[in-house]
Amino acid sequence: MQILRTIEELQNIRKTISTNVGFVPTMGALHDGHISLIKKARTENEIVIVSIFVNPTQFLPGEDLDAYPRKDEADKKICELCKVDYLFMPEISTMYSKEEVLIKAPNKSYILEGLARPGHFDGVLQVVLKLFGITQPTNAYFGKKDAQQLSLILQMVKNLFLPINIIPCEIVREKDGLALSSRNIYLSSEQRKDALLISKSLYSAGALIAKGELNATIVKNKILEIMRPLEIEYVAIVDREFNEIDTIELKNTIILVVARFEKTRLLDNIWI
């Protein structure tokens, strides 16, 4: 595995590659969820590039940019064990200049996650577009846990006519059901226990739908009932375009939940 720090290094190497390139963009603090993306990329591409970059433009004032977990040495080892070909670890000054061409996310970026974090998705799309330009991947891998982010990246690729296949990947969970997240380390033992109500509520919703219940209000109320002890930020039932729906449509519905544990926000979802 080769570790690259500059855009020029990666671009020069990319010019020599004529086979399929799989790309996994991350912010580091790699866990089994990231590893599942890398392994999928490894099985589907001749060359795999992983980036680790904590992107400042997607953090709002007062969020955890400075405290965001960084585990560079452990991350390097994980990538090496996963047989990554190139690990791109740029500095902020490498990725951004004093004056930037800005990316404006579409209207659906200002609901749900975007309502809580206005401007967040502008920063996400900005850095993803930069990374796509540098790596020029054949396939790029993103987890379904960040469902709204995934939807916006798919739209960006479509709207900007980028020749990249976006590969959505399933959520990876702990044995007890908690969705993996780099921010889980912020939870106290008691909060970690309470957080299991999130996945429990989604499993219960899925079971209700499997029995034939397609009324979104009834399903939503079941989730709220289970999550009642938590500080719930939102529960939403939407179609794949992120329009709120009254009737659950099989193979076209996402149920999203977010709960807050002091300063830590945990999001989870299921795709119906």
The model's pLDDT over 50-66, given as tens digits with 9 standing for 90+, comes to: 999 999 999 988 888 88
Q: Tell me 212's DSSP state.
A: T
pLDDT above 90 covers a percentage of the chain that reads 92
Please state, rounded to an integer, the average pLDDT across all residues of the chain: 96
93 and 213 in a single domain? The answer is no
> 128 with 218, same domain?
no
Q: Considering only 9-18, 49-58, 177-186, which range has the smallest mean pLDDT?
A: 177-186
Q: Check whether 182 has a pLDDT greater than 90.
A: no
The residues facing 51 across adjacent strands are 25, 88
For 33, the 3-state DSSP assignment is helix
Question: Which one is predicted more confidently, 98 or 10?
Answer: 10
The predicted structure's pLDDT at residue 24: 98
Mean pLDDT of the region 98-115: 92
On whether the CB atoms of residues 96 and 57 are closer than 8 A, the answer is yes
* Residues tagged active-site: 34
For residue 241, give the nearest of 83, 57, 112, 82 by alpha carbon.
112
- Regarding whether 165 and 197 lie in a shared domain, the answer is no
CA 35 to chain centre: 13
Evaluate whether residue 216 is within a structural domain.
Answer: yes
Q: How many domains does the chain have?
A: 2
Q: Are residues 162 and 238 in the same domain?
A: no
pLDDT at 60: 87
Domain containing residue 103: CATH number: 3.40.50.620
If asked whether residues 128 and 197 sit together in one domain, one would say: no
| 110 plus 40 within the same structural domain | yes
Q: Among residues 199, 178, 172, 175, which one has the least CA distance to residue 34?
A: 172
pLDDT score for 63? 86
pTM of the predicted structure, to 2 decimals: 0.94
Q: How confident is the model at residue 31 (pLDDT cuts 50, 70, 90)?
A: very high
Quote the domain boundaries for residue 15: 2-169
How far apart CA 121 and CA 178 sit, in angstroms, is 25
